Amino acid sequence: MVSRTAKRDQPPNADVNQSCNEATRDWEDMTEAELVEAIRRKRPTEAQHAARIRALGPEKAFEISQELYNKAVEHNDDLTEDETDPLHAQRALLMSRGDVAGKALAHPETLTQAERYDLMWWPEPSKLHAAIREISGLNTPVELLAKGRASRESLSLEELDLIAQQFQVDQWRSASSRIYWVQVPGNAQASVLAAIQEGVDDAVYFELQRYAWQDEEVKAKRAAKQLQSLQSRPLQRPPPKDWNQWLTGRSRDTLAHGYIRCWPPLDRNAPGPHRPPTPAHLLSMDIQQRECLEYAPIGGDLFSQWDELAPEQKAHYETRSEALRQAAWDKWDEKQRNDAQTEYQ
């Protein structure tokens, strides 16, 4: 098979490299059939998907027939509740799920508002109501949807965004999680019954969501708002020319921050060594040696011990550090002179 990209001359061990695990191969080196097969293998199997769905609901939910779930939505008043006959105790069977969805299916009129919101995948009432009051002066999603039903043009951009986001004021639940949750038998039907009890008109709700996402005028307003937000931000300052000087001027303690002061490069092109022994670094090494520690203190622990030093002790470490730094520069300058003399000889 020929790669889409031109191959360079291969090294002697190319055969060994090519025998590596297929997972490490560049996708560009795969044929279309191999790429499709690789993607297929990464997808969960039907058994894995079923196991994930089962983990999201009670075991009893999978034992109840789909026909009964449909009946609970379409003809809830016709559900039987003969407790003496298990074959006809449909409400009791639904309640045996043991979760709020079972309660909604069997007795939707008994749901609390918090339970209805939970089944509709909305945040808790107090949090959602506070968010709606803040942007509209209304109180509940039903009131906001009623306003949109009367005139969708009367809705502000903030109100439309809240509806478009399915009233998720703080990403309380993700949309992807709901996709799996509704696949548990009976959960989708329970959500429908909760919406009916709350007074939500699904047709209006979905139409307002579509309008909020797809209407050209609304999209233009949203883009203008985002642009205004960007323009109101303070302009970023250009990067400083001397990062060492900039960092030193803003550090809590230039001596304790250890790795800011400049050391000479290793040669004309390469950078110098990292973390040179500045005063605090020298103190850290002394503490490690004196107390026989496995690791030298760093960070806040080192800073606190540096702050406790007397002025003359700090001066001692500063002198040692500067001597090491100056010696390194002297050695580097000497190397440059020697290199220059060698070059012109």
Distance CA 53, CA 181 (A): 7
pLDDT score, position 217: 92
> Domain map of the chain by residue range?
249-258+276-343
For 115-138, what is each residue's pLDDT tens digit? Answer: 999 999 999 999 999 999 999 989
**Mean pLDDT, contiguous 10-residue spans, the chain (345 residues):** 39 40 50 69 71 86 93 90 66 92 94 95 93 92 95 93 88 71 93 95 93 92 85 63 54 46 53 60 82 74 80 87 77 77 67
Which of 316, 335, 182 has the alpha carbon at shortest distance from 270? Answer: 335
Distance CA 118, CA 130 (A): 17
Torsion, CA 317, CA 322, CA 323, CA 325, rounded to 10: 130
pTM score, whole prediction: 0.55
For 51-104, what is each residue's pLDDT tens digit? Answer: 888 888 899 999 999 999 999 999 988 888 765 555 568 999 999 999 999 999
The region that residue 171 occupies, defined by phi over 0 for left and psi between -120 and 50 for alpha, beta otherwise, is left
pLDDT score, position 317: 86
Contacts of 254 (CB under 8 A, 6+ apart): 248, 260, 261
**Residue 126: how many other CB atoms lie within 10 Å:** 9
Q: How far apart are the first and last CA of the chain?
A: 56
